[in-house]
Amino acid sequence: MTQAAYTLATIDQFVLFGDSITQQCFSQNSTFAFGAALADTYARKLDVVNRGLSGYNTMQALRALPLCIPKPEQAKVRFLLIFFGMNDARIRGSPGGPDQSTSVDEYRRYIRYMANHPSVRAHKDVRIILVTTPPIDERKALLADQEKYPDLCPVLRRAAISTAIYAQAMRTLGQELGIPVLDIYTAMLARSGHGRETTPIPGSLEAPKNPTLQSYLTDGLHFSGEGYRLLFGQLMALIERTWSDQMPARIPIRLPLWDLEPSWKVDGDRNPPPWQDSDAVVVTGILEALLSDLQRVT
């Protein structure tokens, strides 16, 4: 592979690493697809890569991480979003498939290992974002489980109190590691008219039914289009606060605009020098150009 071809093939990546909520984030069954919106926003600037692993808890995800993160010579990871916890927070010993639960201490330990994994740290200046567990709605979750597992007695497999505990664990860990935390738990509660200290816990069977909270969750657990829309808004707000230079409008596009003449000039050189992002001023006759470099000669 020539250097020019290598450069073209390796646009920096925005890796989404999570469980089924992440895996489904490009789904066209939703009124708003978070992953597709992110890919559209960063089109020709960053490649958005879906590494959602349905059903995985953090122990399984940690083992899979080296297969989900490219090596630096393959592609550079600029952003890594880590979004696990809903399976870890499952009620221990609850029926319906293998037990996915992990203790809060294990959960924190595994997330810490992910953030410091050699496969992640091999990438220079990777920007890590941790996402809290969201709230759940026990009524919708119970109904969905009864439909999925009709032979099981009506018993909760996930509880509102558990997701609240794991969300707090992620907040604390983010502070310890100095890593930004996207607190989707608090954001959903706030827009449902509640705070983290509300009792009984919103979404629990003991609390009144909350139509706004329910509107964010299709089955009490997974996100609806409105849930993904809120996640997208919170993510972009976090990037603006933390890395304003990484907002889409401030990142140069890869490949020139169609109407920028310098990028299409023919200079007669059939063997142009390899494209180098760092020090080239202008490239003529090659498509692997950055808008910022083209602007230097316009």
Q: Are residues 139 and 85 in the same domain?
A: yes
Q: Are residues 212 and 239 in the same domain?
A: yes
Q: Are residues 208 and 297 in the same domain?
A: no
Instruction: Kindly state the average pLDDT of the residues 271-288.
Output: 40
Q: Domain of 272? A: 253-298
pLDDT digits (tens, 9 = 90+) for 112-138: 999 999 999 999 999 999 999 999 999
Q: Which residue has the tokens 């639960």?
A: 101
The stretches of the chain forming alpha helices (DSSP H) are 3-9, 20-23, 34-41, 58-68, 104-115, 118-121, 138-148, 160-177, 184-191, 211-215, 225-242, 291-295
Helices 104-115 and 58-68, packing angle to 10 deg? 10
Q: Are 141 and 214 in contact (CB under 8 A)?
A: no
Instruction: Kindly state the average pLDDT of the residues 1-14.
Output: 59
| pLDDT at residue number 287 | 35
Q: Are residues 32 and 138 in the same domain?
A: yes
pLDDT digits (tens, 9 = 90+) for 157-173: 999 999 999 999 999 99
Q: Are residues 107 and 34 in the same domain?
A: yes
DSSP assignment letter at 261 = G
| pLDDT at residue number 204 | 98
Which of 212, 228, 250 delimits the end of a domain? Answer: 250
pLDDT digits (tens, 9 = 90+) for 45-93: 999 999 999 999 999 999 999 999 999 999 999 999 999 999 999 999 9
Give dist(CA 198, CA 111) in Å, integer: 27
Helices 34-41 and 225-242, packing angle to 10 deg? 40
Residues whose CB falls within 8 Å of the CB of residue 127, separated by 6 or more in sequence, listed in order: 78, 79, 80, 242, 243, 246
Q: Are residues 183 and 227 in the same domain?
A: yes
Structural tokens at position 138: 């026990």
Q: Are 199 and 138 in contact (CB under 8 A)?
A: no
**For 62-71, 199-208, 277-286, which range has the lowest pLDDT when averaged over its residues?**
277-286
What is the phi/psi pair of residue 264, to 5°?
Answer: -115, 5
Residues whose CB falls within 8 Å of the CB of residue 81, separated by 6 or more in sequence, listed in order: 14, 15, 16, 17, 18, 22, 128, 129, 131, 182, 235
Task: Give the chain's radius of gyration (CA, Å).
Answer: 22
Among residues of the chain, what percentage have pLDDT more than 70?
85
Show contacts of 168-176: CB within 8 Å, 24+ apart: 168/196, 169/104, 169/107, 169/108, 170/85, 170/111, 170/130, 170/131, 170/132, 170/133, 171/132, 172/108, 173/108, 173/111, 173/112, 173/130, 174/130
How many domains is the chain built from? 2
Q: Are residues 143 and 264 in the same domain?
A: no
CATH of the domain at 51: 3.40.50.1110
The three-point CA angle 217-218-221 to 5° equals 55
Instruction: Kindly state the average pLDDT of the residues 109-114.
Output: 98
Q: Are residues 159 and 139 in the same domain?
A: yes
| pLDDT at residue number 295 | 40
The answer, yes or no, to whether residue 16 has pLDDT greater than 90, is yes
| pLDDT at residue number 154 | 83
Q: Are residues 53 and 133 in the same domain?
A: yes
| pLDDT at residue number 14 | 98
Structural tokens at position 80: 């890594």
Model confidence at 242, in pLDDT bands (50, 70, 90)? Answer: very high
Q: Are residues 93 and 136 in the same domain?
A: yes
Q: Are residues 200 and 184 in the same domain?
A: yes
Q: Are residues 202 and 277 in the same domain?
A: no
